[in-house]
């Protein structure tokens, strides 16, 4: 089984690329979905988050706006939150990989925005970075209507810079042009990975 790490900053088009990879037969580990589950009512992460940021959990529910504002006001909180969430995501990822191997999966994709920051690139055979121009990135995030410009800029500032991510990755897919061009890049990548796997087995 080949393990492909998939990473990219907010608004880079990573979710779209993950869907394209799923369409090519890959099995996807969605770290964002896991984090959402950990932070959902009754989620494993809520007690620790509540202790770290008082008032961020009310009536058993995470108050995302409270947590977001606390992190913007005190950037050091973000690292502490990572210390809560990352080990839990790692455990879920290991369980996913074990299940994928048992199922005879050929290509497992670890869709993890903070792949490098969490050190989870060590689990991967290859890493794919999804990239787009910063102007496109900001427009995409603002178009979702959930954050203002200041919040978007704060998130981008916290994340690894796109050029650094591209330098570290084995493969790069650029989503700043058209969906069709991104799709062509994904198909070409999957074909090359399959060919490389076939050659390694002969």
CATH classification of the domain holding 187: 3.40.50.300
Distance CA 193, CA 32 (A): 25
Q: Is 16 annotated for ligand binding?
A: yes
Instruction: Report yes or no: 84 and 38 within 8 Å, Cβ to Cβ.
Output: no
Please state the pTM of the whole predicted model.
0.89
Total number of domains constituting the chain: 1
**40 — pLDDT class (breaks 50, 70, 90):** very high
Q: Tell me if 72 is assigned to some domain.
A: no
Q: Tell me if 179 is assigned to some domain.
A: yes
Q: Is 202 annotated for ligand binding?
A: no
Q: Tell me if 135 is assigned to some domain.
A: yes
* pLDDT tens, position by position, 143-184: 888 788 888 888 888 889 999 999 999 999 999 888 899 999
* pLDDT tens, position by position, 61-92: 999 889 988 987 887 888 899 999 999 999 99
* pLDDT tens, position by position, 110-123: 999 999 989 999 99
Q: Is 60 annotated for ligand binding?
A: no
Distance CA 71, CA 193 (A): 39
Q: Which residue carries 């202790």 as its tokens?
A: 51
Q: Is 12 annotated for ligand binding?
A: yes
**Percent of the chain at pLDDT exceeding 90:** 73
Q: Tell me if 77 is assigned to some domain.
A: no
- Which pLDDT does position 200 carry in this prediction? 58
Q: Tell me if 65 is assigned to some domain.
A: no
- Which pLDDT does position 153 carry in this prediction? 85
Cα torsion angle, 153, 157, 158, 164, sign: positive
Q: Tell me if 192 is assigned to some domain.
A: yes
> Stretch 174-198: mean pLDDT, rounded?
88
Distance CA 190, CA 187 (A): 5
Q: Tell me if 125 is assigned to some domain.
A: yes
**Domain containing residue 30:** 2-34+86-201
Q: Tell me if 18 is assigned to some domain.
A: yes
Label the pairing between strands 27-30 and 57-58: unpaired
């Amino acid at each position: 089984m080949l393990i492909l790490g998939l990473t990219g900053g907010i608004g880079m088009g990573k979710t779209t690329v993950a869907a394209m990879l799923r369409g090519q037969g890959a099995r996807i580990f969605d770290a964002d979905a896991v984090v959402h589950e950990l932070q959902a009512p009754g989620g494993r992460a809520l007690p620790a988050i509540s202790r770290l940021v008082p008032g961020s959990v009310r009536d058993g529910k995470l108050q995302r706006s409270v947590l977001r504002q606390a992190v913007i006001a005190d950037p050091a909180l973000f690292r502490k939150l990572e210390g809560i969430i990352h080990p839990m995501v790692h455990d879920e990822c290991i369980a996913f990989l074990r299940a994928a191997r048992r199922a005879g999966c050929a290509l497992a994709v670890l869709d993890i925005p903070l792949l490098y920051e969490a050190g989870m690139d060590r689990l991967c055979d290859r890493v794919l970075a999804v990239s787009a121009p910063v102007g496109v990135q900001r427009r995409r995030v603002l178009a979702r209507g959930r954050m203002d410009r200041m919040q978007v800029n704060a998130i981008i500032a916290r994340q690894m810079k796109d050029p650094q991510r591209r330098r570290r990755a084995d493969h790069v897919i650029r989503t700043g042009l058209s969906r069709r061009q991104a799709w062509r890049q994904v198909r070409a990548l999957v074909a090359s990975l399959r060919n490389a796997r076939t050659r390694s087995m002969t």
